[in-house]
Amino acid sequence: MNFFAQASDGIRVGQWDLNLYKMKDIPFIVPPEEEQTSIINYIQKASKDLESLIIPVLKEIRLLQEYRTRLISDVVTGKVDVRDIEIPEYEAVPDDVTEDELDDENTVDDAAEEAKVK
C-alpha to C-alpha distances, 117 to 19, 46, 104, 106, 114, nearest whole angstrom: 62, 44, 18, 15, 5
115, 94 in Cβ contact below 8 A? yes
The tens-digit pLDDT sequence of the chain (118 residues) is: 677 777 777 666 666 677 777 777 777 788 999 999 999 999 999 898 888 889 999 999 999 999 999 999 999 999 988 888 888 887 777 766 666 665 554 454 555 555 444 4
C-alpha to C-alpha distances, 116 to 32, 96, 98, nearest whole angstrom: 58, 10, 14
9: β partners: 17
18: β partners: 8
